[in-house]
Amino acid sequence: MPALRVLDLSFTSLREIPASISELVELRHLDLSGTKITSLPKELGGLTKLQHLDLQRTHSLRIIPQEAISGLLQLRILNVYYSYGVWEQQDNEVGFADLQCLKHLTTLGITIDELNTLKRLYSFSGLLKVIQYLYIIQCDGLFYLQLSLNSSFGERLRRLSINNCYDLQYLQVDEEAGQKWLPSLEVVALHSLPNLETVWKNPVTRESLQNLRSVNIWHCRRLRNVSWVIQLPKLEVIYLMYCKEMEEVVSRSGIAGEDSKAFQSLRTLSIRDLPKLRSITPWELAFPSLESIAVIDCPNLKQLSIKTHNTPALPTVYGNKEWWDGLEWNEASSETALYPHFMPI
């Protein structure tokens, strides 16, 4: 066992890491993601050859002693995404300064659960540059999230999740970033942000958010549309749930005109409990990659905006039979073409 280099205990019922973990002196990769651990032993810091420590989705993790991290001088990847978030709030526990001392660190996933903690993070430029996974939860008083390309904060960001930040109104990137901002971002998840009025303060163009693949928005009751998603060339998945004021997915006023290249990569569109939703797009689009569209509890959505002519494959449509029967069609042939793909739920 002392020669072991990789130890994967992910998504097991593990609740405790024994102090004897320090005997695995050759360990390079330790995956504890999804376990039920509540603390890390200080002896973990004796794994001086460890390069990858995965703690993501360890929701019960509350204690990380300073010694457990400060000795991991070869660490390259540390993922605490959807996990420990009480940075620098308790004595003798790990802080941002300890993380910044990890000179080989190239990838960081982190959870922030207080506004003051987020403000302190901004002063550690070495950490901002390597954050790839960022989860912000319950940060009262956070009115907007500033992603600064000047400090490289956001340049390598791949996943951004924000939950239960009740004051948040928008996200913003420094103007100095130009149009090619957040080039690495792949996933955006925004949940329970009741005062979010718009997602991006910056104009979204074809050059920004070039790698964004998944947009997941739940319980953002003030959002009226997410027109910016039409600009995303690699977007594959859209989930819009419980946004009570949303009237359109893409608004006519929010875009320059009909775009034949829109939603070329979209595979899944799922919308639920959007009682005011009237339209998906202002005109019909081909959606060439669309595999499924699910519509639940959207009584005012009367048209699907899907072109059926000269389309190589049509998506499966999931919805209530009563809703389907109430749909309006520009051409009867569209209903005829889509009906075999309808799955009542």
**Residue-wise pLDDT tens digits, 61-91:** 999 999 999 999 999 999 999 999 989 877 7
Rounded Cα distance, 333 and 345, in Å: 23
Q: What pLDDT, in 10s, does the model give residues 286-318?
A: 899 999 999 999 999 999 989 888 777 899 999
Count of all residues that appear for the chain in the document? 345
Give me the pLDDT at residue 255, please: 65
| Run of H or E residues at 66 | helix 66-70
More confident residue, 313 or 37: 37
SS3 category, 136: strand
Tokens of 187: 């996933």
Tokens of 290: 């669309």
Mean pLDDT on 177-205: 93
Q: Which CATH architecture has domain 1-137?
A: Alpha-Beta Horseshoe (3.80)
Task: Give domain limits for the chain.
Answer: 1-137
pTM of the model: 0.93
Tokens of 221: 């009751």
Mean pLDDT on 98-125: 95
For residue 206, is pLDDT > 90? no
Give me the pLDDT at residue 174, please: 85
> pLDDT tier at 151 (50, 70, 90 boundaries)?
low
For residue 258, is pLDDT > 80? no
Rounded Cα distance, 106 and 112, in Å: 19
> pLDDT tier at 260 (50, 70, 90 boundaries)?
low
| CA-wise closest residue to 281 among 315, 306, 261, 298 | 306
